[in-house]
Amino acid sequence: MAETTTTLRGLPFVGCLFSFRRDPLRFLREAAARGGRAWIPLGRNWVLLVTAPEDVDHVLRHAHESYGKREELLVRVMGESILTAEGKVWVERRRIVQKELGPDSMPHVAGTSAAEVQKLIDDWRRLAGAPTDLERDMRRLTLNIIVRAMFSASMSDADLEEARGAIDVVMEYVQARWLGLVDVPLQAPTPLNSRFKEAIATLDRIVYQMIRGRRAGGYRDGSPDNPDLLDQLLKATHKPTDPRRESAKQFNPRESPRESAKRFEDQEIRNEVMTIFLAGHETTAMALSWTFDLLGRHPAWHAKFTRRPWPSSADESPLSTPFRACLPSAGSSTKRSGSIRRPG
């Protein structure tokens, strides 16, 4: 691991919080430029910024059992899920979710993505050159794709629009609480707490309605041969465990639990669906936003990206040869945006 560790100094009580809020990307880039690792005081939280490749490799690959990822603020929102769980619980949830995100799901995901992208392009054309909020459009696009690909047609357009507004409130709440100088209890009668509770209630209503409808109606297309993520969660079995107990000890893959397998309860499925809603689309939307920004600033990359003609027929398969021919340039552009815009 890198040997240099610095500690940033800020104002009393608030640390570097104001500087971080003013321009997070610039702040993190300047902190990373100091080299090695950096301890950063952000209000009531201390954050260790790790950017050196060997440090990242150590944390994520070689010693991941030593770095807990359970964040009570996220548990308050998502419950025990693939994002917040650890140990056996995490391994089990990851196994189930990975089935829907593996290579076998690509034709379904690609077709859904192509249809949603075409809708966005049509919306942009109707603007006739008027400006639009790119980040908002990318968040809308990625959420639509995730909902349609992971949960098929189980959610109506009206529910999706309502869920989108609720998600915005939840994300605002998480950011405000994590960067707040005081950890305001959820019971406190503040405007943000009230809006957050209403948003969670809205998402719960939509998610539980979707779960109950799928339980009553069977698979998304009436066939068990083509299940989506919701189908996988409904039919999956698992060993009952206490997430808090399992998070505290290292997972042993050769251990054989004595508990008998059981189906996931609605609450457990709700937690996974909520995680997909809240965390599944945000990072992809940001990556796409930065990619568009950089393509607009660098004509040479833009020309390389658009050199191959994209298929113009709406009926053409997204996995056809013309589409695949465009993927190397698209992939390299997205990776380039990540390397430029990633802090450090």
pLDDT tens per residue, the chain (344 residues)? 556 788 888 888 889 999 998 888 888 888 888 777 889 998 888 888 888 888 888 888 888 777 777 777 788 888 888 787 777 777 877 777 776 566 665 566 777 788 888 888 899 889 888 888 888 888 888 888 888 777 766 677 788 888 888 988 998 898 888 888 888 888 889 999 999 999 999 999 988 888 888 888 765 554 555 667 787 778 777 665 555 444 444 445 444 445 566 778 888 888 888 887 777 777 788 888 888 888 888 888 777 766 655 555 445 544 444 444 444 545 554 555 444 454 43
Overall pTM > 0.85: no
Q: Which domain holds residue 61?
A: 5-67
Q: Which helix (H) or strand (E) holds 238?
A: strand 237-238
User: What is the domain count for the chain?
Assistant: 3
* Bridge partner residues of 40 (DSSP): 47
Q: Give the pair of three-digit tokens for residue 149.
A: 């690909």
Q: Residue 290: inside a domain, yes or no?
A: no
Q: Residue 96: inside a domain, yes or no?
A: yes
Contacts of 264 (CB under 8 A, 6+ apart): 233, 234, 236, 238
Q: Residue 287: inside a domain, yes or no?
A: no
Q: Which amino acid is at 201?
A: A
Please, are residues 149 and 112 in contact by the beta-carbon 8 Å criterion? yes
Q: Residue 93: inside a domain, yes or no?
A: yes
Question: Is the same domain home to 260 and 306?
Answer: no
Q: Residue 174: inside a domain, yes or no?
A: yes
Question: Is the same domain home to 34 and 92?
Answer: no
Tell me the CA end-to-end span of the chain in Å, nearest whole number: 16
